[in-house]
Chains A and B, each alone.
Chain A
Amino acid sequence: MKTRLLPLLVVAAVFVLCLWAVQPSVSLNATPTEAVYVDAELPTVITQVDDYFEELWRRQELRPAQPADELLLLRRLALSLMGTVPSLEEIRQFEIDDQPDRIERWTQRYLNDPRFADYFAERLARCFVGVDGGQFIVFRRDRFVSWLSDQLEADTPYDQIVRQMISSKGLWTGEPQTNFITSAVANEDLDENKLAARSVRAFLGQSMDCAQCHDHPFDSNWKQGHFEGVAAQFGQVQQGGLGVFDSPEKKYEVQDLAALDEVDEEPENIPMREVDPAVPFGKDWIPVEGTTREKFAHWMTHPENRRFERAIANRIWGLMFGRSFITPVDDMPDPSDEADRDVLDMLGQDFRKHNYDLKRMIMTISSSKPFRLKSVAEPNNDSLADVSYEEMVSMLDESWGLFPMTRLRPEQIIGAMLQASSIRTIDQNSHLLTRFRRFTNERDFVNEYGDLGDQELVEQSGTIPQALLRMNSNMTRGAVESNFFSACGRISNMSTTNEEALEAAYFVCLTRKPTPEEREHFLGLLGDHTDNRRNPIIEDIFWTLFNSPEFSWNH
């Protein structure tokens, strides 16, 4: 008997030891200690941006929405920067934080949280390499995303990040930025057209995909010839056992369709035509030295390339608001005259002047007036008396006079749901099992909820399977279940009054207190149960809040 038990005991002991070993090693600080962003010029650009909108609203005689509550700002920040809602732990800390510049300090705290680097890296990776698995072996998307996350955490300037992606050599495992190139490998071949189209979309915010076959219908700057020239920038890339490298002697050739006599020519009979690398504008930005790709990377990130800074400003604006300043995010018109600068130019110039600092741009956008407005529209003001309420809301919406309501991404929904089912912050300090649960749940949920793919920032309404998933799935059952570990169970067991329990549930799910009507309704349901009998009612409250529009829409 003893001999049989011994191995089991050893296994059990090792298991317990492991659990102990992987538990969080540090406890969270009670209050954020980060100093507020010290930079004399930051207020200047924020004022510029604010003035731009003030002027816009004044011209249209619009009265923008009221400033939003700071707790709501915290929710927006957590959702856009980390893909989750604030935890009860964070909310409590935030509530007792009475030092000045509370929101600014918390924005910085979130920006320095590894969750930011991970979440933003995934968001940006979608426009850089898409979401497809790509070609097995030569494309390692996971390595690319973790490389990007490291760059964000290390505050690598954005222009450097882009140059590395375009021009690096080496293996997709050891030099993960080269996956930008190998993401375009399909059926064993590198698709230069795909890289050309993607570079222009991701880094310049413009779409020249139509120019692959014909001139751009709306935009005079992108002709078919330009497309070939940009594709030729990748014409010397080769990939093999040594990874990605350049062969200077390699020629880039395309099928010369113009030389065709007959329409029905067999593909192998079409004559080939050599194409030299070319750019559609800013030819003198190209340096003399370097490989074709290095030169192209410098052209792309050249300080005079307004499109480059405007494109990333538009995208970051979109990730913060859920809607880009110009939509679609990757089909922006050519920049207008220098004299007619818009918000993207203001953000872009400041970005360039400050070493392409992404976090600084996020600070600027999150400090701007539009980000800090409510999503609630007041009734019409006198000067707009003859405009219907609907029209006024739509005018406010278009001029950023109220915070736009956008559907949360699947990752944000599941992130919020998992966070809301726990009292403590789920982050790198969480227990390994909690993180594992988060990882697997997130993957399954995103898959089932419907991944938006690389179509970031395309607005859509929800679907029926999503509603069913939120209402009836095992995932929801797990999140609303009242047990020893769940927020639901702990709130139910630890709150002395029903009032307290209700408020905690609202904080955890919606980051706010209940309205008087909601309070009355739910306190009525809770009645005078303060023991176990209130567990199912608290579960019902969690279920209700998870299924409310407020939970799945940013507002």
Chain B
Amino acid sequence: MKTEVTRRNALKTAAGLGLSFLVPALGAKAAQERGPKRQKSLIVLWMAGGPSQLETWDPHAGSETGGEVGAIDTRIKGLQIADMYPQMAEQIDNLNVVRSLLSKEGDHERGTYFVKTGYRPDPVFKHPAVSAIVSHQQPVKGLEIPAHVSLGGGQWPARGGYFGASYDAFRVFDPGRQINNMRPLVGEERQDRRLASLDIVTQAFARGRRIQTENTLHQLTVQRALKMMSSEQLKALELDDESQAIKAAYGDNRFGRGCLVARRLIETGVRAVEVTLNGWDTHASNHGGHQTQAQILDPAFATLTAELKERDLLDSTVVLCIGEFGRTPAINPVGGRDHWPKWFSCVVGGGGLTAGKVIGETDPLGKKDAVDPIEVKDLYATVLQTLGVDYAEEFITPIGRPIAFSDGTPIERLMA
């Protein structure tokens, strides 16, 4: 019979929302800080649909399971990746490759949940995505735009889970082209009139309901949205002051622009950004499908890595390229590969992690278990640790059950 939204909860939520607009905008110093002193951030390149490890970071060219793929040498000695990634071959030594990831979920929705949170779906409560954990645990002072952003659409964007909807990623479907609902529908004069009227209607409602109305945080949320709409920091979502050459290098498509916007957001002080590339679910014509995807991913990922490095942001930014699972070693009768939650690959690095490591080795025939299996939870314990989040800290969920941000163990070999 107890209400959940009590005054105390309301205040807690207010603090959680980050009343940061009450303090001066992010000091030029903090945002311009570089190297290890800089606050850390996370960029997740989310490969929706499940990319084939064999046509990306773990090719077995010429083998029974290899398909039509070719392999090329990279800047990491002894590492070959799919020949569709010539630009990444030049950048991959700034990052690491894991070729033996293990998931337990072979369905897109459940797999996405598992790989985004590190936990299997639970019927009682939702876990937060690792990007939500980072933005929840390390609030950014002076940030007027959301600290957790998801770019480029995708069916299951990163959610706030037990932290609540305020920690869901702020979604921008077409980054660099439009700013979602950030511009008023009418001119300044009319907007002011609307807001003045809104005050009057809000006050009329609050009469006799002062406490309940305060508890809704409605006005606070509206104020914060208005602050965001007029913030200079919104420029991070626009690409007008980027050169044509840079835009072309990332690729003038939704994902390419997303990666460029991600870099701008990180520079502005945003804590966690997810950029989604859809289209990996190649149950038919796997090779052709992956070629199309590579033409988008290769330039965007390589340019992002190079730019972060050039701007001295790589040491403070973890970059993780991963999807919900890999694809079967066997090729089906229509030239496709199906879902394969075992022994798939990801690329991860930056943010103080080591570089140039390759972990895990898969069987070219796809029969034997991979050498050196890595669990998703261990990957996230690693990422959280390097970002300065106590991964083992137990959070008391709304149902009263304590749960660790990650119940894995950091992978020592990836720690610098």
Contact = CB atoms under 8 A, between A and B. Distances in A.
Do chains A and B interact in one complex? Answer: yes
B181 A473 contact: yes
Interface string A502-524: 00000000000001011001100
Contacts of A467: 221-222, 224-225
A390 B197 contact: no
Contacts of B215: 405, 461
A394 B7 contact: yes
Most chain B CB within 10 A, of A375, A390, A465, is at A465
Contacts of A545: 201
A42 interface: no
B136 to A, nearest CB: 14
Interface residues of B, number: 68
Interface in B170-199: 170-171, 180-186, 190, 193-194, 197-198
Contacts of B209: 375-377, 405, 555
B137 interface: no
A465 B171 contact: yes
Contacts of B213: 405, 549
Interface string B108-130: 01100000000001111110000
B204 interface: yes
A17 B401 CA distance: 60
B93 to A, nearest CB: 35
Contacts of B399: 207, 328, 331
Interface size class of A (residues with CB under 8 A): 35 or more
B194 to A, nearest CB: 5
B292 interface: no
Contacts of B229: 468, 472
A448 to B, nearest CB: 8
A431 interface: no
Contacts of A544: 194, 197-198, 201
A323 B204 CA distance: 24
A458 B355 CA distance: 44
Contacts of A468: 180-182, 225, 228-229
Nearest to A210: B401
Contacts of B388: none
Given A325-B1, A405-B216, A187 B126 contact: no
Given A472-B184, A540-B194, A549 B218 contact: yes
B181 A465 contact: yes
Contact of A547 (B171, B206, B222): B222
A548 B126 contact: no
Contacts of B181: 465, 468-469, 471-473
A453 interface: yes
A327 B204 contact: no
Contact of A472 (B2, B185, B401): B185
Nearest to A407: B216
A458 B218 contact: no
B298 interface: no
Interface string A274-308: 00000000000000000000000000000000000
Given A132-B109, A463-B166, A465-B181, A194 B123 contact: yes
B216 A207 contact: no
A476 interface: yes
A357 interface: no
B229 to A, nearest CB: 7
Contacts of B4: 323, 327, 458-459
Nearest to A555: B209
B193 A453 contact: no
A543 B211 contact: no
A353 B399 CA distance: 34
A515 B204 contact: yes
A399 B3 CA distance: 10
A130 interface: yes
A522 B124 contact: no
B197 A522 contact: yes
B208 interface: yes
A393 B194 contact: no
Contacts of A157: none
Interface string A186-208: 11000000100110010000010
B407 to A, nearest CB: 13
A540 B193 contact: yes
A393 B214 CA distance: 12
Interface string A105-133: 00000000000000000000000001011
A368 to B, nearest CB: 15
Contacts of B171: 448, 465
Nearest to A207: B124
B228 A461 contact: no
Contacts of A553: 216, 218
Most chain A CB within 10 A, of B125, B126, B168, B204, is at B204
A463 B228 contact: no
B398 interface: yes
B212 A541 contact: no
A398 B2 contact: yes
A525 B197 contact: yes
A477 interface: yes
A517 B205 CA distance: 11
Nearest to A462: B221
A456 interface: no
B106 interface: yes
Given A210-B401, A461-B5, A461-B216, A548 B211 contact: no
A464 B201 contact: no
A453 B126 contact: yes
A552 interface: yes
Given A464-B170, A464-B225, A468-B228, A459 B5 contact: yes
Interface of B: 1-7, 10, 13, 17, 104-107, 109-110, 121-126, 146, 164-166, 168, 170-171, 180-186, 190, 193-194, 197-198, 200-209, 211-213, 215-219, 221-222, 224-225, 228-229, 398-399, 401
The 4 closest A-B pairs by CB, nearest first: A376-B208, A467-B225, A549-B218, A459-B4
8 contacts: A186-B110, A328-B399, A393-B212, A398-B1, A477-B185, A517-B200, A547-B194, A547-B222
Given A323-B4, A468-B229, 17 more contacts: A132-B110, A186-B107, A326-B1, A327-B1, A327-B4, A390-B211, A459-B5, A462-B217, A462-B218, A464-B17, A464-B228, A465-B168, A466-B221, A468-B182, A471-B181, A472-B181, A549-B216
